[in-house]
Structure 1
Amino acid sequence: MAGLTVRQVSESADLDAVRALCWEYRDYLLNFSDEVREAVSFTYQKETYAALMDVLADKHARPQGIILLAELDGVPVGCGMYHRIGEGDAEIKRVYVRDAARGTGAGLTLSRALIDKARADGYQRILLDTSRQFVHAQKLYEKLGFQARGPYSELPPGYEKFLVFYEITL
């Protein structure tokens, strides 16, 4: 058994697996609750999300970003990524783990790997947001040393009510 591994996406097949995971993540969000569905429907309309998936590799390209793929016994089960949003600042996006891999440590391992890579890339701070309803994600980020903060980018009116914002100094 290969166990849990996290590695940088390096081939088109890896990127295809990440895109599939990202679409699963969107579906997960749409089905989580009415409130989350409202927020996702607003920011990740299908056409907008498809356009994002088309430029995913460019948006998170090395050396200013990265896309990581988590595998359990060689099967893709999760992903996470970051990109540069300002001098010394990276933003973590789309950390997602399939239901079948929840409880295996995949989310923690992915998040630690993102932090380690961002530190190695010279970032001084990582920012992220998550749904107010994702209590498990909030606990994970707090366990990793992230501190709650206010929004770090401009948001559409009324959108702030859906999210919790975090940062960690590296």
Structure 2
Amino acid sequence: MTDILIRPATSPDDMSAIRQLCWDYRGHLSQVSDIDAQLTETFYPVPKYAALMETLETLHARPQGIILLALLDGETVGCGMSHALFPDTSEIKRLYVAPHARGHGLARQLVSALVDQARADGFSRVVLDTSVNLGPARALYASMGFSDRGPYQDIPAEALPHLLFFEAKL
């Protein structure tokens, strides 16, 4: 039987695992397509991403955000985080499940837990973005009641055709 657990990241070891998953996610995005590699380098060049990794606990701190990890049979295999983008809006960031752990519903459980936490924290909507080339992510968000919307923050015009934006009212 497969044991799945979604829980907040609370310890230094948890954060170490989260950071590794975030680097794996960045690497994955760079391999999706040439345009995704270009967008990854544009938005998150290595020095900027390294600095971001050092501030995750602050950026996603309670009570306006959270960092979750997904464990499969005791192994940390996925992550997702949120933060307050606006007073009424929580943004989901860096949702990722390692390739060997996909197919168990972990991404769905992570999104559900992030949405539930945003609702409990008093937000009235959740937003997120993804690459047009990440079909499984797009299908997941649509199946969970997220609707298409336009950009919710400034995005360079050349990137817009390659990104999709979603919103769920809470």
TM-score of Structure 1 vs Structure 2, range by shorter chain: over 0.9
Structure 1 residue 78, shift from structure 2 partner: 0.2
Name 1:105's counterpart in structure 2: 105
- For residues 83 and 2 of structure 2, the distance between their equivalents in structure 1, rounded to whole angstroms, comes to 29
4+ long deviations beyond 3 Å: none
- Would you say 1:81 and 2:81 are equivalent positions? yes
Residues 90, 127 of structure 1: 8 Å contact kept = yes
Q: CA RMSD in A?
A: 0.9
Structure 1 residue 12, shift from structure 2 partner: 0.9
- Would you say 1:47 and 2:52 are equivalent positions? no
Query: How many residues were matched structurally?
Result: 170
Name 1:114's counterpart in structure 2: 114
- For residues 73 and 36 of structure 1, the distance between their equivalents in structure 2, rounded to whole angstroms, comes to 31
- For residues 41 and 48 of structure 2, the distance between their equivalents in structure 1, rounded to whole angstroms, comes to 10
Superposition map of 1:145-160 within 5 A: 145-160=145-160
Structure 1 residue 35, shift from structure 2 partner: 1.3
Structure 1 residue 2, shift from structure 2 partner: 6.3
Given the superposition, is the C-alpha separation of residues 87 and 14 from structure 1 closer, same or farther in structure 2, using an over 3 Å criterion?
same
- 3-state SS in 2 of match to 1:104: coil
- For residues 169 and 148 of structure 1, the distance between their equivalents in structure 2, rounded to whole angstroms, comes to 12
- 3-state SS in 1 of match to 2:145: coil
- The residue type equivalent to 2:169 in the other structure is T
Q: Deviations over 1:128-162 (max 9, x none)?
A: 00000111101100111000000000012311111
Which TM-score applies when normalising by structure 2?
A: 0.98
Unmatched 5+ residue regions in structure 2?
none
- For residues 162 and 50 of structure 2, the distance between their equivalents in structure 1, rounded to whole angstroms, comes to 22
- The residue type equivalent to 2:19 in the other structure is R
Name 2:132's counterpart in structure 1: 132
Name 2:62's counterpart in structure 1: 62
- 3-state SS in 2 of match to 1:103: coil
- For residues 114 and 85 of structure 2, the distance between their equivalents in structure 1, rounded to whole angstroms, comes to 15
- Seq. identity, %: 46
Name 1:31's counterpart in structure 2: 31
Q: Deviations over 1:23-82 (max 9, x none)?
A: 000011111111110111111100000010010110000000000000001100000000
Residues 32, 133 of structure 2: 8 Å contact kept = no
- The residue type equivalent to 1:97 in the other structure is V
Q: Deviations over 1:96-116 (max 9, x none)?
A: 000011101111111111111
Which TM-score applies when normalising by structure 1?
A: 0.98
Unmatched 5+ residue regions in structure 1?
none
- 3-state SS in 2 of match to 1:31: helix
